[in-house]
Structure 1
Amino acid sequence: MGTTNANELEWTTLERGETRFKRKQLGEAAGGDRLGCSLYELPPGRRSWPYHYHAANEEAIFVLSGTGRLRLDGELSPLAEGDYVALPAGERGAHRVVNDSDDPLTYLMVSTMDEPDVTAYPDSEKIGVFVGSPPGGRGNREIHGYYRTDDSVDYWTDEEDAKTE
C-alpha cells in the first residue's frame, strides 16, 4: 500500500451530455485516506464535471498534456501543459475544465477528502450533501443527496411543534 502505477489501473468512463472523460483514481488505489488524486483524460470538445465548488474541500489541477480552458469563478482562462491551478474551498474555487482543442487534455486533479462536504452547482442551482464519505470517495455514506438550493424549509415545522406537546 502507498504506491500505485497509473499504467496498471483501468480507466473508468463517464459520459452525460457534454460531459465525457476517462478517469483513474490514483489516490484510492494507493490507499490514500485524506488526499485524493485522479488522472483525467478529457477528449476534444468535451467538458469535465458540471461547474461546481466544495464548501469543505480544496482541489488543484496540474495539466500533464494538451490545452483547453478552465472556467474558474465564472471566467474562462487558458490551460496548457505544466499549468497548476489551486481551487480553494468556497465560491471563488468554482470550476469546470473545458477541452476546446483538437487533442485530448490530460491532467491530475488533487483534492482534500474531508467530510462532511456540501458541493454547490451554481448553473443548475443544486447542492450535493456528503456525510460519511467525501465526494470522490466510495465509502458508505450516512447522508447523501442532491437538492435544489431554493427548496428550503423552516427550522420548525407544525409536525415537530405537535410532537412536543
Structure 2
Amino acid sequence: MPRVNEGDLDWKETERGEIRFRRKQLGEAAGGEGIGCSLYELPAGAKSWPYHYHTANEEALYVLAGEATLRHDGETHAIEAGDYVAFAADESGAHRVVNEGDEPVRYLALSTMREPDVTVYPDAGTFGVYAGSPPGGREERSLEGYYEIDGDVDYWEM
C-alpha cells in the first residue's frame, strides 16, 4: 500500500489573473491510477479552475476548512468545512469554487481518471480534448488541445 503524507509534499502554485490556488497531488504521489485526489488551498478573494464540466470523468470535492461559494450547474451555493459535493460527468456537473471570504479555504478534489475526455468551459464557449492521459494525468498525450465550440468543420470539406 503506497502511503503519502501531505506534509511531505510541496505545494504547486497556479496563478493566472483571478485564478489562484495551491495544490498537492496526493493521488499521483501515492501511485494512484484510477482515482485522482488533490489537496487545494484557495486564498481569500481567489477562484479555482474556470467553470467547467467533464464528459468522461466524475469529480467531487470535500471541504476541509473554511467557507466558499460553489458555482454548480448554473447556481451558486455556500459550502463549508464538512460539505461533500459530487459532480456528474455531464453538463449538470459544471462547477467552480470561489473564495469570497477573508480566510483560505482547503478542500480535497477527487476525480475518476478516464481518457479520452472532453472538458467543456461554458463561459468561454470552448472545450479541451485529452487522449492518451486524462486531465490531471502525467503521461504523454497522443492528442490534446483547446477549441472553440462553434469552430465546426464540415466532415466532407476536410
- Whether the TM-score (by the shorter chain) exceeds 0.5 is yes
Gaps of 5+ in 2: none
SS at match of 2:78: strand
Q: Render the CA deviation track for 1:117-138: whole Å, top value 9, x for unaligned.
A: 0000000000000000000111
Q: Which residue of 2 aligns with 1:90?
A: 90
1:34-73 pair list within 5 angstroms = 34-73=34-73
Q: Which residue of 2 aligns with 1:135?
A: 135
Q: Render the CA deviation track for 1:129-158: whole Å, top value 9, x for unaligned.
A: 00000001111000000000000011112x
Q: Which residue of 2 aligns with 1:111?
A: 111
Q: Which residue of 1 aligns with 2:16?
A: 16
1:155 is aligned to 2:155? yes
Following the alignment from structure 1 to structure 2, what is the Cα–Cα distance between the partners of residues 25 and 37? 6
1:29 is aligned to 2:29? yes
Following TM superposition, the consecutive aligned residue runs of length 4 or more in structure 1 with deviations greater than 2 angstroms are none
Following the alignment from structure 2 to structure 1, what is the Cα–Cα distance between the partners of residues 36 and 3? 13
Cα RMSD (Å) of the superposition? 0.8
Number of aligned residue pairs: give it: 158
Following the alignment from structure 2 to structure 1, what is the Cα–Cα distance between the partners of residues 127 and 70? 21
Amino acid at match of 2:139: G
Q: Which residue of 1 aligns with 2:144?
A: 144
Gaps of 5+ in 1: 160-165
SS at match of 2:27: helix
**Cα offset for 1:3?**
1.0
| Aligned-pair identity (%) | 61
SS at match of 1:156: helix
Q: Render the CA deviation track for 1:5-34: whole Å, top value 9, x for unaligned.
A: 100000000000100000000000000001
TM-score, scaled to structure 2: 0.98
